Amino acid sequence: MAEEKAKRTGRIRQMVEIYRTTKVHDRNLPWALLLCFVAPVAVSVVLALLLSDNWFGWVLWPVTGLLVGILLVMIVLGRRAEKVAYQQIEGRPGAVGAVVQSALRRSWRGSEVPVAINRNQDAVYRVVGRGGIVLISEGSRQRTQRMAADEERKIKRAMRNVEIVHLYVGPDGEGIPLARLSKTLVKLKPKLNRNEVAAVYNRLSSLQAAPVGIPKGMDPNRIRAQRPR
């Protein structure tokens, strides 16, 4: 009982901290959450008055609206907090690593440490999943093209039959916005099953030694908003 109570208290504190951090950069957040909570409750009360003819319905409808309102508040808060977090790190070195570390689904495996990086901190990350091997370039598109091509040649020497997909996250050309990277990976056509994903990832990990001095990805969930001056 004590452990469960501590967990609930910790979750509440975490939600409050997320709200405070997000509110600094999203001034419409309080009104959005208020609308998400009030609207279902108001609708449920109206439905109770119109459709119920006993005390059970008068209680059930408002309680349902209350629960729906709380659920909507949690969903909207999470999405808006995620949006603000991505805005805070987008364009900074290691941003893709943060997504690889904390936002990818279980069907994808990768490291927050890039497999290639240059002096300008342009980097190439590698992830393995149902969509095959994916090389994600971060930084200048012109500078990362050669880095990604070199990495592709290294991979093909070890695994010739696995398809390699190239993605680019950055401001040049038709780059993928950081917030859409995870969704883009999920939408790739499946080419490997779960066992093949593990085998390919382990094989590539054994061939790749982590370079020295590479910045690790930033965790969007741990970024603290700057206080307004």
Q: CA angle, 123 as apex, 117 and 127 as ends, to 5°?
A: 115
Separation CA 196–CA 177 (nearest Å): 29
Separation CA 82–CA 202 (nearest Å): 30
pLDDT string in tens for the chain (229-residue length): 656 666 666 777 888 888 888 888 888 999 999 999 999 999 999 998 888 888 888 889 999 999 999 999 999 998 888 888 877 777 778 888 888 877 676 778 888 888 998 888 889 999 998 888 999 998 888 888 899 999 999 888 888 777 899 999 877 767 888 888 888 888 888 888 888 888 888 888 887 654 444 445 544 444 444 444 4
Report field, pTM of the whole predicted structure over 0.75: no
